[in-house]
Amino acid sequence: MHRKVGFPALLAAAALALHLFAGLSFIASSAPTYDETVHLSSGYSYLHTGRYVMNIMDHPPLDEMLSALPLTLMRLEAFTAHPFFSNFMPYHYGDLFLFDNLASPDRILDTARVFTFLVWTAVFGWFIWFFVSRLEPGPAAAYSLAAFCLMPVFISNDALVTTDAGAAAFYFASFALGWLFTAPSARAGGKEAGKTDGGARRVLLRRAALAGAVSGLALVSKFSMFVVPPMIAVFWLADNYLRPRMKFSRLWGYILVYAASCLLVVALVYKFDLLLFWKGLYATLTRLDQGRSSFIMGRYTVDGVWWYFPLAILVKTPLIILGAAAAGVFLVLRRFRRDYLWLLLPPALFFAAALTAKVQIGYRHIMPVMPFLAVLAGLALSRLHGVKRGVWLACGLLALNAASVLAVGPYYLAYFNEAAGGPANGYKLLVDSNLDWGQDVKTLARYLKARGNPPVIFSYFGTARPESYGMNYVPLENISNVEFSGTGVQVCAMKRVLLAVSATNLQGTYYPDKRTFYWLKERRPEFVAGHTIFLYDLTEDKTGLQKLAAVFDQRGHNAEADCLYKRAGD
């Protein structure tokens, strides 16, 4: 048994090393994604001023402050006297903070990203190991950790300055600790078996308080986590009903301890201004109920479709993980015990609620489901130990998974599995933060620089300044919360007419006229930056020049349109 458990542990260590390598390479290759400037500048302003102002109605402050924490050692300018700050303009303030500060944008952002990535990898990894090693004997914990490390959703999103990874980590951790409260002492801790009644009560009080504290951390990470405390309370009540362990009056006492611990954490993070938390929660729920434009397989919707997140899971999760997780569900149901409800119900209920969501802009919104999939996959892989040469079979499956993931590197946010056609086909299925979050402007700039840095007409979905990476460009039909003025390039003076279009704009997700750039789909791009930004050379394409001129014309850029029409005529 020691040999069989030892090898999976080495496998998990190798997967973790690959995870760290992939995450750091993703960080180095990626420009700021759409919201990172807001999260990072808001977190820094909270630490600098001690006041929650900039982004507090959209997101709780914990994850933003955590990401900004290492920046306090860099002596940066906070810009809190600037009108962007005093007038509550988060995207403009974020742009100012990152691109006009005392250190380079890459140094500021990547410092925060590396710290964030290491923190969330450690939190996820520890709680996966903690939960599975107590829930299931043998090598299941090692295989679950390996599955987690080889999932692109964690490689990419854990490395970004957002609130998604923290919320998912604490969601998983809350239910892991919630289960520990209900677990029999002999199975949950060994040393605690045989304690006196008073000793057992103290253990349960500690577990209830710890579960409450971690649930509080979930609440101050993302407002969607408001579902965690009532879910855990109901689970405890249901578990005690199905497997009586104590009087319900006593259980309610533990639930009160849990709630008090949870509330205390929220109060501490919000500096005892709980009204501010409730205002932010109410504002977020109201905003989410209004819906948002989204694209899925050629369909446009504002109110959402129920199959958005099921499709996202099917196309953006590695096939090995999907198959192993499905096998894990089968095995759990086949050898069912009540403890497995803590593994099945939290992701199932969160996923079911997501089916009704009106805001459908990214796979990241169901990240709380993903660590449970990793655990289910790990359980299935661990069962291969009962098969002859099963260790090598499991190793081979994980190696295939690793090859699938590494083939996309370093553009892990753009991962789509082989059944979906890979990342090159991703833009036909899903865009926005599933694929194109503005991160590949750095890759495009590097490509252009290697070819003499010719000017381009750029339709960008993102908030990073293209000029900060050395691009010469004319902005056209950008989708951004900040303004881009370009670098003074004159369309009429361009020797080559190069047009770069982000995938989200190519699909027209946020345009009133969804077909604005559809004519480009008939053309082969000269280059695709990170699977998300398409670069076309229209110099000799008369029809393409006419189509591009029409886009300029419709937006009131008549001089540019006239030049392009004339060029097409010549």
- Dump the DSSP string for 396-436: HHHHHHHHHHHTTTT-GGG---GGGT-GGGGGGTB-GGGT-
Chain mean pLDDT for the chain: 94
- For 87-92, the CB contacts below 8 A with 24+ separation are 88/53, 88/54, 90/38, 90/41, 90/42, 90/54, 90/55, 90/58, 91/37, 91/38, 91/463, 91/480, 91/481, 91/482, 92/481, 92/482
Alpha-carbon torsion 228, 163, 443, 440, what sign?
Answer: positive
Please state the φ and ψ torsions of residue 533, each to the nearest 5 degrees: -125, 120
Which sequence spans correspond to the domains of the chain?
Answer: 2-30+104-406, 31-103, 434-569
Give the CA distances from residue 68 to residues 40, 63, 115, 248, 331, in Å, rounded to whole numbers and listed in that order.
6, 9, 9, 44, 43
Distance CA 15, CA 147 (A): 8
Task: Check: CB of residue 110 under 8 Å from CB of residue 139.
Answer: no
Distance CA 111, CA 43 (A): 14
Task: Check: CB of residue 222 under 8 Å from CB of residue 167.
Answer: yes
Q: Angle of helix 341-354 relative to helix 228-242, nearest 10 degrees?
A: 140
The alpha helices in 136-273, defined as continuous H runs, are: 140-149, 152-157, 164-182, 185-188, 197-219, 228-242, 248-269
What does the pLDDT look like over 408-441, one tens digit per residue?
999 999 999 999 999 999 999 999 999 999 999 9
What does the pLDDT look like over 61-105, one tens digit per residue?
999 999 999 999 999 999 999 999 999 999 999 999 999 999 999
pTM for the model stands at 0.95
What does the pLDDT look like over 435-464, one tens digit per residue?
999 999 999 999 999 999 999 999 999 999
Distance CA 52, CA 306 (A): 35
Please state the φ and ψ torsions of residue 298, each to the nearest 5 degrees: 85, 0
CB atoms within 10 A of CB 54: 28
pLDDT greater than 50 at residue 3 = no
Q: Quick one: pLDDT at residue 185?
A: 52
What's the angle, vertex CA 96, arms to CA 166 and CA 90, rounded to 5? 50
Q: With residue 453 as reference, give the H or E element that holds it.
A: none
Average pLDDT over residues 295-300: 96
Task: Check: CB of residue 235 under 8 Å from CB of residue 255.
Answer: no
Give the distance, in angstroms, between the CA of residue 164 and the centroid of all CA atoms in the same chain. 5
SS3 of 51, please? coil
Task: Check: CB of residue 437 under 8 Å from CB of residue 413.
Answer: yes
pLDDT greater than 90 at residue 184 = no
pLDDT greater than 60 at residue 273 = yes
How would you classify residue 170: left for phi > 0, otherwise alpha for psi between -120 and 50, otherwise beta?
A: alpha
What does the pLDDT look like over 189-209, one tens digit per residue?
444 444 557 788 999 999 999
SS3 of 443, please? helix
The alpha helices in 220-340, defined as continuous H runs, are: 228-242, 248-269, 274-288, 308-316, 319-334
Residue positions counted in the chain: 570
SS3 of 151, please? coil
Task: Check: CB of residue 208 under 8 Å from CB of residue 258.
Answer: yes
Average pLDDT over residues 307-313: 98
Percent of the chain having pLDDT more than 90? Answer: 90
Percent of the chain having pLDDT more than 70? Answer: 97
Query: Per-residue b/e over 316-333, b at no fewer than 16 CB within 10 Å?
Result: bbbebbbebbebbbebbe
